[in-house]
Every structure is written in C-alpha cells, then in structure tokens.
Structure 1
C-alpha cells in the first residue's frame, strides 16, 4: 500500500491518529500516532498531514542498521535501535519523532488503518483504482 494525501479533504477529526495508536501500540493514545495532523488557523486555514513517505533517508542515516526496508516500507528494529535520534534529525518530511515512553522513534509502517477509517479520503491508498 502506498499512502497518499489530499490535505484539502482533511477535517481535522484525528480519527487516523486514534486508530494508529490503537493498532500499533494497543493504546488509546493519539500522541503515539505515526502521523500528525497540524492545524494552520486562522490563516491560511487548513490542516497539514505529516506522515512518512518511505523515502529511506532514515535507513541510510542509521549507523546501527536498525532501519530496514521490507516490501517498500521502512521498519525500525527496536532491538537494534539505540535511540540516538539521528534518523529523526535526518527525516526530510519531519515524520519521525520520539515519544517519552518509547526508546525507538515512531514512524509510519503503512499498515493502512488510517486509510480504512478516513471518512473524507484525506488519507488514501494511491495504489487503489479509486480517484480521490
């Protein structure tokens, strides 16, 4: 699945953040969501969605080889990760972050839960045949 965005359709409901935290951490904790919804109000008046685009810069930066690509998606090996934060600093889309309760950074693994629950089509599967 290739996750794509149509920010103009985002209402800021943050359902995507809730399901992300539930699915990946079994917690109702949107602060652990691997995507962020940022409101820019009053001007220019829209929501920005920050999510990993799977560019691989984080993996290239990691000197501990803790980030590996599997089927086009980069995953963090929590056993190898030292929590140094170099990958967070290197991320060009600013989509990786550290949560105080986790040693390893958090990033999207393209599980698709946000795509399933986004009622407005702001987050969608670019590989699907539907036009958004």
Structure 2
C-alpha cells in the first residue's frame, strides 16, 4: 500500500472538511435569525394546547405576538390569571384582568321537557342536522340539537350530553371557546367564573309557541325585569338577557322566573322542575 497516497487522501479529506465547516459556519453567521429570549420564556409559560382561542395559529404564534407587543399578556384564555401573571412578569408589565372563563349552554330543553316532532337518524353532527328539515327533530328550532359536535371540538373532555342537551363541566373547561364556534344554534357563551346569573334558554319564539315546544323555555313574561333592582335585565327578541356588568347577584330574578331557567353560569346543566 502506498503510504504517501493514504496520507494525501487523508489530508485532502481533512482540508475539505475544514473548508466545508468554515463555510457552513460563515453561512450560519450570515443568515442567523435572532431569537427573542422573551419569546422563548413566554412560550414556556403558555399551556401548549394550540387551541387557537387566543386568535393566533397556536402557542408559538401567540408567544411571538406577546413578545412583540402585538398581543396582551393575558391573551391566553386557557392559561387564565396564573399564566397571565407569569407572562406579565417576563414582559415587565401589569397583568390586568384575566378572570377564568368557562362555557355555558343556554338551553334547558332536556328530553323530558322538550317536544319532539320526529326522531332524527341522519348524520350525527349538529351542523348537518341544523341544515336539514326539522333541525334534528326537536320542536324548538333554537335549542340544543344534542348530537355532540361540541364534544368533538373540546380538547379538555369537558362536555357531555345529558338528557339530549350539552352539559359543560366548569372544572374541566378551559374557556377556549371552540365549542361556541362550532354550535350551529349559537347556544354556547363564555362567562367568567365570577358571573352571577344567566338565562338558560335561547328561544326567540313568542310565549305561546315556546310553551308548545318546550316546558321550560323563556316566555318573555318580564317578571325578572320587574324584580331586578340593578336594571340588569332586558327582553329582546322574546328572550331575557342579563347584563353581567350590572348584575349584583341578588338572585331575585331566579326566584321569580316561572320557568325556573335563570341560573348561575358555569355551574353545570340545571334541569328545571
């Protein structure tokens, strides 16, 4: 074996490797992307669900937006106040208000309370049933269809169907709002855990039509309006609404409601007696 040949080959390979290494190092320095340490630190605080409830594509995008000042430090609804406080400390600002939110289904029409026109046997998806004649079979076209499209969207196993109506476990709910976006009847609303009372019905029918379709629908009688001392309740489109900013939580509306459908939000499904 030619020793000099082996040495020559070794030198050529070594020098070539050195040149390639130096070239790669130069290219790396030339095209180096500066990473904001704050962005890294913020990302570590975020829960990592990538649910998109913050309005961004995922936690990485949210972290970048917060670090750039384009998003608020309390912009993650899943993380709540604890995550907001940690991120605020990183960014050197005040956390602001970031009360935990949970979803609430504004329908009390369980199987024993609602009238059915027919039994639905189509595709088990609320959005599909909503665009078919009869909207799933319940006489009330505004109520929960009950086929569980919201369950499929929930990443936290917080939703179940109870008596034909979606029920949300507030302890599991992260307040991401994905269930609200997928509900074809817009029955799901996010309330803070400090919220006082809400009307568990969404029917816009008039009283007589409501009673024909559901035993516990809002009949727009305005009894709740008359007893409210904080002017927090109004009736629009035949349905009562409670202004959470004005509500003082006295509970008089819930006591007076003849249909017994005014309850504390985020406290699970209440089946009217």
Per the normalisation by structure 2, the TM-score is: 0.24
Structure that is richer in strand per residue: 1
Per the normalisation by structure 1, the TM-score is: 0.45
Structure that is richer in helix per residue: 2
Higher relative contact order (CA 8 A, sep 6+): 1
Q: Which one has the largest radius of gyration?
A: 2
